[in-house]
A and B are shown apart, each in its own frame.
Chain A
């Protein structure tokens, strides 16, 4: 190698001005644009000499700027022992979500969390994640988070609040808390629970109310009505061979969806013709991802679900299933008897191995009936188990009504709201905003200065769960600790710290409060060791709750309030569902979630009135027409979006939009469905009228068609057809033998990376999309740019409909760069910015790219994303903290695409190299693979005959997308199989 040498001593040609800068004269000379003596001519100076000097100095001054800008290195003052700069550290924690919790492992770089993964040991996640977990990292670094305590909107300090409370406190103690009320959200936290009990003891006059806009209360009430006990159900979907979901989005929106999806996929992993599959029946009013996975699906309005359940009970009684004592009303749904018979056949043939789940928003009566059904079919203790509650703080719809009553009766002097946003999401008939004004003192603890904080007297910034100490309980009872990844960015108090201060008048840290709770949870001996073990694992091993064996009283269901169906041709039922993107509105300021295309409608940045084509035709509306939904004087104007497969006269509106104080991302996005939601009709509202207006509203959908245009992109067959012809997937496209024009590379040495995606397991939950966005610093572009087709997601979820418009089937397919061996994109890049590496990756070199976009033009999958604008240089500093330092942040004019997580591959290869060994299978996990709850994505070394990905590629259902173009993609798909009931087989 040529080694260019520089003589450090003696004469050498100066390379850069800084070398000269060593001598003081030149340094002084160069630092000035005009040399000092230039203004007055020296004695021997004449014009020519002056100009020469000037010219030279000007030239050199010009070249001064040819050097790069000064960059600083800032080391520690006292380096923490465990941090090696450049090596990320991973810590376990948990994420509270209502009365559930997710176990997480968070990757931190020099004390700054950048990526969230699931904790492989925690039962709720088992290593996978969902979109809320992945996007939570962006919520931590949100610049719109509240940074200051406020009193009536003016910024104050925590010390001011302390003064305020300490003034009220003595009187409160003397009155034993009368007039003090708390309004919180639901939780399952041992420490919070202990504080609640403590507060009740210290201030017995105080009252506690809990409100959640999206609630599982009906489930609990249904179960308690027929068992007489307070019980929580958990499902073991893997054990079920027949699953019936009744208006339940089991795999996405319902609590516990991660483990449900995982269990479901476990029953559908067909490796060969010998394997069996479970069967899913779905009856739902909207199209959900669960319905998309179903082998049989019927659309039925939510208000008729109870009739369907009664119909099923009637049929099952004919099979001598013990369902005596239940009064069955005569009304029936339009679901044909044949279908119900076939379903009943299956359920009866699989006693103890079936599962019936109803959606949380359905009335308690339906939940009572389904738990009875599960019990009669022998599922209790097998696929469905019941646990006694332990540390839960459950929400009750009655609570907020009672609170409003108490306030109206002037019984509440001080209202403390911990989290939540009742001014935004409380039932519309309660007029919570006006009611709140009647309370003399109000305090709101929240991460944002939101709608409720705007109406409260005091606002206190809340810590994000990644910055606080706390503890959680998962739905199966597993206890975990929340440990902070970073000190609170904006000050802020955790709920535990605030309640402690309010109750005791003195301050304590979350750390101390949590440890105190755990002294009674962990064994007395070796507390410190056990405590550290819990922090290390992210959970307390073997802390799950014991299964209960409840006794069912079937007749109790007859005493429950009967559900009603109001059917009419002119009115609609409006179903309120939590948004799959922003949930109940709490994530409205999260750009990743707002830009995530909804799984079914593919809408971004908005919600709409989703309805079926026939409903739209009946009311004479088309896409983007603004309609007004009205009932009893409450109305909401919003646009229409037509989705095949919705039930007749049933409109779904997602909650969580139309916020006014969410932050720069969430404000004004979408339409506030809470305006229509009353306390009597929280799940669905009947008798809504729809009025057309002349206005339209532009909605942006990333895929408004559902057609594969005649190409077999998603290949599927029934299980029987597969058994008869296992290689059906590859044979769907006929093509001549594929020959290449040029000599092909033989990729038979070293690591060769490849991926398979099992379409039988993919539920379309989009966790992979958000995980990829988090790992690879993918920007958001806004609604207008998405409308131009410029969304930046490297991994997109395609969704296709099949069959009848009113009763279609749906399939999902995640598509990212296929890393073709004969990549069409590589052949047309004029500057060789995208080339193939020796391990099979199609590599993108951002600095070479000049932005011709020819590669994207040539890509048959259209997976290349172009940075049309500079989406990253305007990001607030704090949002930049969420970026992964191991991945380049792209500027304007550069093409980007999935890299098979090359940064993870490099990291793993270097570690293995340092240990002088080869990589083992499973050491390199791509971000999408890690997030997927159903293990649909498998990535690995296809040159290794023992690796999982090689086994998956050998499965006969495997096919490549557009393989007939001879581009030889490294990603292959496993064709989707449906398992229809032979009695219901359609031709």
Chain B
């Protein structure tokens, strides 16, 4: 009987299959990376309503993180400071500055400043700041060197895998209590010994069960 398909069409199925596999791998790889928090969240540096510079306040002026983020050792949530905290100094300092206009407006009208949230995990995961600070995890371990940031940027992906990497092996990230807000801290040579001591003293056992964070 007559041949419908020319001979060269024999090569089509394997080439198609090969192409399909490549495409599938490509698509999966595409979403694996571009869909991950490493891509979508790390590097997020939104525009804020007030051009507040951590580099100036926390870096050059040396203010401690906890002066503004006062509930971080007491509560699950680290608060963004109320306008009152800004006005503690800025009723006297730079009282005419244009950059501080939204702050002064907020203070006089009573309407709060609407900051854009930078670090956020999913609603179904519950993170407790005070537990981490109590254990000895420093601010920079998760937030990066904020004292160098003109505009706050999320440096870590804050994905579940990233959290678990530390939960399963926290040694390199445990600091003595006094070093928690030290922006320039790096693990010293005997970090593993120090960490072992901290773990023993504070009975540190970071949860790796689902119920540790998912409620």
Contact = CB atoms under 8 A, between A and B. Distances in A.
Interface of A: 1-2, 4, 6, 8, 14-16, 18-19, 21-22, 63, 66-68, 70-79, 84-87, 835, 837-839, 841, 843, 845-847, 886-889, 899, 902-903, 905-906, 910, 913-914, 916
Contacts of A847: 122, 124, 214
Interface stretch (B8-16, B166-174, B177-185, B190-198): B166-174
Contact of A76 (B75, B112, B134, B209): B112
B83 A78 contact: yes
Nearest to B214: A845
B7 interface: no
15 contacts: A18-B45, A18-B46, A63-B34, A72-B114, A75-B113, A79-B84, A86-B71, A837-B212, A886-B215, A888-B124, A903-B215, A906-B211, A914-B130, A914-B134, A916-B203
Contact of B84 (A78, A86, A888): A78
Of all A-B residue pairs in the complex, the 6 with the closest CB atoms, nearest first, are A86-B77, A837-B209, A86-B75, A15-B43, A76-B82, A79-B82
Interface of B: 34-35, 38-47, 71, 74-77, 79-85, 106-107, 110-117, 120, 122-124, 126, 128, 130-131, 134, 148, 153, 155-157, 165-166, 169, 172-173, 202-203, 209-212, 214-215
A815 B215 CA distance: 21
Contact of A75 (B82, B120, B122): B82
Given A68-B41, A906-B211, A86 B148 contact: no
Given A75-B83, A888-B124, A19 B215 contact: no
A273 to B, nearest CB: 39
Contacts of A846: 124, 214
B121 to A, nearest CB: 11
Given A16-B43, A18-B44, A63-B34, A75 B79 contact: yes
A84 B117 contact: no
Contacts of B77: 85-86
A688 B123 CA distance: 57
B83 A73 contact: no
A78 B82 contact: yes
Contact of A73 (B80, B122, B209): B80
Given A72-B115, A886-B215, A4 B79 contact: no
Contact of B42 (A8, A16, A71, A916): A16
Contacts of A887: 215
Given A18-B44, A84-B71, A916-B203, A899 B215 contact: yes
A16 B39 contact: yes
Contact of B157 (A4, A14, A85): A4
Nearest to B81: A75
Nearest to A832: B210
Q: For the complex, would chain A's binding face be called helix, strand, loop or mixed by DSSP majority?
A: loop
Given A18-B45, A66-B40, A84-B75, A1 B165 contact: yes
Contacts of A68: 40-41, 120
A913 B131 CA distance: 7
Contacts of B157: 4
A841 B209 CA distance: 10
A838 B83 contact: no
Contacts of B46: 18, 70
A87 B77 CA distance: 8
A889 B123 CA distance: 9
Given A85-B79, A839-B209, 18 more contacts: A4-B156, A8-B148, A15-B42, A18-B44, A19-B43, A21-B45, A75-B82, A78-B82, A84-B75, A837-B209, A843-B211, A843-B214, A846-B214, A847-B122, A847-B124, A887-B215, A899-B211, A899-B215
B84 A72 contact: no
B45 A19 contact: yes
A859 to B, nearest CB: 18
Q: Counting chain A CB atoms within 10 Å of each CB, which of B45, B114, B215 scores highest?
A: B215
A290 B105 CA distance: 63
A623 to B, nearest CB: 41
A835 B207 CA distance: 14
Contact of A84 (B74, B107, B211): B74
Nearest to B160: A847
A507 to B, nearest CB: 25
Contacts of B116: 70-73
B106 A77 contact: yes
Contact of B43 (A1, A6, A84): A6
Q: Counting chain B CB atoms within 10 Å of each CB, which of A85, A835, A846 scores highest?
A: A85
Contact of A74 (B34, B43, B112): B112
A73 B115 contact: yes
Contacts of A21: 45, 47
B117 A71 contact: yes
A488 B80 CA distance: 27
Nearest to A19: B43
Contact of A77 (B42, B112, B131, B153): B112
B122 A16 contact: no
A913 B206 CA distance: 11
Contacts of A889: 123
Nearest to A914: B134
B207 to A, nearest CB: 8
A584 to B, nearest CB: 37
Contacts of A71: 116-117, 120
B43 to A, nearest CB: 4
A738 B210 CA distance: 29
A15 B84 contact: no
A188 to B, nearest CB: 39
A845 to B, nearest CB: 5
Contact of B210 (A1, A8, A84, A837): A837
Q: Counting chain B CB atoms within 10 Å of each CB, which of A15, A19, A63 scores highest?
A: A15
Contact of B215 (A6, A73, A84, A888): A888
B86 to A, nearest CB: 10
A67 B40 contact: yes
Contacts of B134: 913-914
B209 A85 contact: no
Given A845-B214, A847-B122, A1 B169 contact: yes
Given A19-B43, A85-B75, A73 B210 contact: no
A886 B128 CA distance: 11
A964 B124 CA distance: 35
A16 B34 CA distance: 9
B45 A74 contact: no
Contact of B45 (A22, A79, A899, A910): A22
